[in-house]
């Protein structure tokens, strides 16, 4: 079966698709291209293709109207609706496979890194050193007495020890907005730092949260009580703009705000206004209203804000994980078994869903 892969895949899964499953694979990973294929080139490459494994190209209704042989779409993302028109695929009887949770570990790790970077000034102090703020003539021993040497930058007024002091995480409250695959792992990691945990998620009940060591709260309570607020919810009609001026106003001046989810979940202008006014202590952002950020964006002028370029899901293991997930499910479909991760299981026929119970 002719197969087009425009996503990034690992070598083991490529070998398996070609040699074990027996697919005729044409591989054009986006990591080796300058960007997405244009719609016309993408459609041309789909000529005769029966299986598509896609990462970031748009599989729109127009694309589906112009391809005749496509039988399976596998999207290597956790949210395939970002670039695949699932309703259009469903109308044509095409199953859409995907990879939920593929980057949950990666994003959870990164989130804790951002919390530490923001609260303990790790990123900011790195920048200050590299720009010469705290460099100077070394001192061999600045302790002035005692029985051991104690080399230090100094602890007097103006020293990094004084200016960049931040809070410990133990006994601070972490408010987690969204307790899905990522939010749960953030909770597990934060518990290791001895943080108290509050959670907001209408789809997770109090008992389920308690099993994670998380106390269920409404969004207003979470914003009022948390020392650090972190966002881990997908963009839906109900979450778009979930955190706006009212919610940021509820947060204490000492609160840190973290977002590794999507920029559309918050009112970024409202967050910026709070940070500029000093009514939030700091923020760490991996996602934005516009990406990439313009080089003159006001967020980049704030020393209280850690900014990263949408890297939370960019761990080496993520490609291995999503590759295996989609390969497993393609093999299942081709052998008339139920795939584990399918966005539109209503398209499955009796024959391809015979093992369901």
- How is residue 37 written in tokens? 């294929």
b/e for 266-292, b at 16 or more Cβ within 10 A? bbbebbbbbbeeeebbbbbbbbbeeee
b/e for 312-339, b at 16 or more Cβ within 10 A? bbebeebbbbbbbbbbbbbbbbbeebbb
Which residues have a Cβ under 8 Å from the Cβ of 162 and sit 6 or more positions away? 155, 156
Q: How far apart are CA 309 and CA 114, in angstroms?
A: 12
Determine whether 89 is exposed, middle or buried from the number of CB atoms within 10 Å of its CB (0-12, 13-18, 19+): buried
Tell me which residues are annotated as active site. Answer: 262, 291, 310
Distance of CA 118 to the CA centre of its chain: 17
Distance of CA 273 to the CA centre of its chain: 24
- How is residue 186 written in tokens? 């953030």
- How is residue 241 written in tokens? 């703009």
Q: How far apart are CA 213 and CA 97, in angstroms?
A: 33
- How is residue 330 written in tokens? 């393609």
Q: How far apart are CA 341 and CA 326, in angstroms?
A: 8
Radius of gyration of the chain measured on its C-alpha atoms: 24
DSSP 353: T
> Residue 326: how many CA atoms within 13 Å on its side-chain side?
35
Q: How far apart are CA 318 and CA 218, in angstroms?
A: 32
State the helix-helix crossing angle for 104-119 and 122-130, rounded to 10 degrees.
70
- How is residue 12 written in tokens? 């083991």
């Amino acid at each position: 079966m002719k197969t087009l892969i425009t996503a990034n895949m690992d070598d083991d899964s490529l070998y398996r698709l070609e040699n074990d499953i027996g697919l005729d694979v044409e591989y054009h990973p986006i990591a080796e291209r300058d960007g997405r294929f244009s719609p016309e080139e993408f459609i041309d490459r789909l000529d005769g293709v029966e299986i598509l494994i896609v990462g970031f190209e748009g599989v729109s209704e127009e694309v589906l109207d112009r391809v005749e042989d496509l039988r399976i779409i596998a999207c290597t993302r956790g949210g395939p609706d970002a670039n695949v028109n699932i309703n259009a695929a469903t109308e044509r009887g095409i199953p859409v496979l995907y990879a939920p949770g593929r980057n949950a570990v990666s994003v959870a790790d990164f989130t804790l890194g951002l919390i530490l970077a923001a609260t303990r000034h790790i990123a900011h102090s790195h920048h200050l050193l590299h720009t010469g703020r705290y460099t100077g003539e070394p001192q061999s021993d600045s302790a002035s007495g005692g029985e051991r040497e104690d080399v230090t930058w100094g602890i007097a007024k103006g020293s990094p020890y004084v200016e960049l002091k931040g809070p410990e995480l133990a006994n601070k409250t972490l408010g987690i907005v969204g307790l899905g695959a990522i939010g749960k792992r953030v909770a597990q990691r934060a518990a290791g730092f001895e943080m108290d945990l509050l959670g907001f998620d209408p789809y997770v009940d109090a008992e389920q949260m308690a099993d994670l060591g998380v106390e269920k709260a409404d969004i207003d309570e979470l914003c009022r009580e948390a020392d650090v607020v972190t966002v881990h919810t997908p963009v839906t009609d109900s979450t778009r703009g979930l955190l706006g001026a009212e919610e940021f106003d509820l947060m204490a001046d000492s609160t840190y705000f973290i977002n590794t989810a999507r920029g559309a979940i918050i009112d970024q202008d409202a967050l910026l206004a709070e940070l500029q006014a000093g009514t939030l202590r700091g923020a760490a952002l991996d996602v934005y209203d516009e990406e990439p950020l313009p080089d003159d964006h006001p967020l980049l002028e704030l020393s209280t804000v850690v900014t990263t370029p949408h890297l939370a899901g960019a761990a080496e293991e993520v490609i291995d994980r999503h590759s295996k997930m989609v390969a497993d499910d393609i093999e299942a479909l081709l052998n008339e078994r139920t795939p584990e991760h399918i966005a539109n299981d209503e398209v499955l026929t009796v024959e391809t869903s015979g093992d369901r119970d």
